[in-house]
Amino acid sequence: LLSASLLGIKFANPLLNASGVHCRYTDELDALAASAAGSLITKSCTLLEREGNPEPRYAATALGSINSMGLPNQGYAYYLDYARRHNYATKPLFFSVAGLSLEDNLTMMAAVRDAYIPAIVELNLSCPNVPGKPQIAYDFEAMDRMLAAVSAEYALPFGVKMPPYFDIAHFDAAAAILNKYPLVAFVTCINSIGNALVIDIENESVVIKPKDGFGGIGGDYVLPTALANVNAFYRRCPDKQVIGCGGVRSGEQVFMHLLAGASLVQVGTALHEDSPRIFARLNRELSAIMERKGYRSIEALRGKLKTL
Ligand code: DHB
């Protein structure tokens, strides 16, 4: 009932973690591998290990979360070692890459390619939290240069993690650039809505330390923005697949992402606030909705969103 497909690879179900959540260390990745998730993705990595921003750097709120982690990670060699040891017969593994420069991305992706493993690269063009490093996908010339260089060097299909856009002209411009690159085989929409500000009224204060409290928000705040971005790229990139991310905490939101066109669906804030056991519940809830509506496969409903 729940089987899904991306890049010609079969998945037992469409669910996985959003990169950044429960995936910095091997024990966390192992728990995802052992969970009911259909696949998993590693923490976005850089060439060298990073501690990230000062704490507190994540806060849960009534409607979701805010974070400014600052790319704490163990360095790409750590995740590549994990990817070499992963049992791909149990489920697929995605490998998230977030180099601090174009050259760093080329180095890391060449290393993944030369490992001859079936890990699927998701190139992060949208980290909002490293001071002095603007989100690449908000600079269309930089994004075009990045995709040209990475396509030439990597030479295998890969995906891109996109920030949310909020204007039709930006959907058009971003999709036109992605469509220049046939190796960009999937588009993950969305990263957090960057540089938001959560205020605690009791303390009259921000709730995270980095960047004077500015950080990326996820959870209920972002669901309609996520669905719009999934559907905007689904409509504009007919030769690519879309991975949905944003605001998923029950089977209903998974169903909405699938209707909007997502082939797989990632879970961030809700996984952070719960545990990898959440995937069993989401699968159960998605199955119940599909059965109630008479759908016998995800393909039967994917992208079937009606307009008025
Ligand atoms: C971080 C946050 C992101 O949204 C992202 O895409 C990559 C890294 C972080 O703060 O660690």
Q: What is the pLDDT of residue 134?
A: 95
Is residue 219 within 8 A of residue 61, CB to CB? The reply is yes
Q: What pLDDT does 28 receive?
A: 99
CATH 1.10.3720.10 for the 4-53+71-192+220-293 domain, yes or no = no
Residue-wise pLDDT for 126-156, tens only, equals: 999 999 999 999 999 999 999 999 999 999 9
Kindly state the helix (H) or strand (E) to which residue 252 belongs, with its residue range.
Answer: helix 251-260
Pairing label, strands 262-267, 205-206: unpaired
Residue nearest to atom 1 of ligand 1 (CA): 71
Which numbered atom of ligand 1 lies nearest the CA of 194?
4
pLDDT tens figures, 85-121: 999 999 999 999 999 999 999 999 999 999 999 999 9
CA distance 280 to 147: 36
Question: Quick one: 142 exposed, middle or buried, by C-beta within 10 A (0-12, 13-18, 19+)?
Answer: middle
Q: Determine the Cα–Cα distance for residues 160 and 189; give it in Å rounded to an integer.
A: 9
- Out of 21, 57, 125, 127, mutate this one to test ligand 1's pocket (max ligand atoms within 8 Å of CB): namely 127
Report pLDDT digits (tens) over 287-301.
Answer: 999 999 999 999 999
CA–CA distance, 160 with 154 (Å, rounded to integer): 13
Q: What is the pLDDT at residue 137?
A: 98
Which pLDDT score is estimated for 76? 99
What's the pLDDT tens digit per position in 249-306?
A: 999 999 999 999 999 999 999 999 999 999 999 999 999 999 999 999 999 999 999 9
Whether the CB-CB separation of 225 and 193 falls below 8 Å is answered with: yes
CA angle in degrees (0–180, nearest 5) for 80-85-88: 105
The ligand 1 atom at the shortest distance from the C-alpha of residue 57 is 10
Could you give the percent of the chain with pLDDT greater than 90?
Answer: 100
Do 144 and 225 meet the contact criterion of CB atoms below 8 Å apart?
no
Q: Name the residue type at position 75.
A: G
Q: What is the pLDDT of residues 159-211, one digit of tens each?
A: 999 999 999 999 999 999 999 999 999 999 999 999 999 999 999 999 999 99
If you search the block for the tokens 């990326």, which residue do you land on?
A: 216
The DSSP letter of residue 215 is E
What is the domain partition of the chain in residue ranges? 4-53+71-192+220-293
Q: Is 42 in the pocket of ligand 1 (CB under 6 A)?
A: no
Q: What is the pLDDT of residue 285?
A: 99
Phi, psi (degrees; rounded to nearest 5) at 229: -70, -40
How do residues 207-246 score in pLDDT, each as one tens digit? 999 999 999 999 999 999 999 999 999 999 999 999 999 9
Q: Would you say 79 and 237 are in contact if contact means Cβ atoms under 8 Å apart?
A: no
Q: With 0-12 CB in 10 A as exposed, 13-18 as middle and 19+ as buried, what is 229?
A: buried
Stated length of the chain: 308
At 282 the three-state DSSP class reads helix
The type of residue at 305 is: L
Is 127 an active-site residue?
yes
C-beta 216 within 6 A of ligand 1: yes
pLDDT band, very low/low/confident/very high, at 15 (cuts 50, 70, 90)? very high
- pLDDT at residue 194 in the model: 98
Report the chain's mean pLDDT, rounded to a whole number: 98
Structure confidence at residue 245 (pLDDT): 99
Q: Is 281 helix (H, G, I), strand (E, B) or coil?
A: helix
Which among 65, 66, 71, 130 is the best mutation to test ligand 1's pocket, defined by most ligand atoms within 8 Å of the CB? 71
The reported pLDDT for the residue numbered 238 is 98
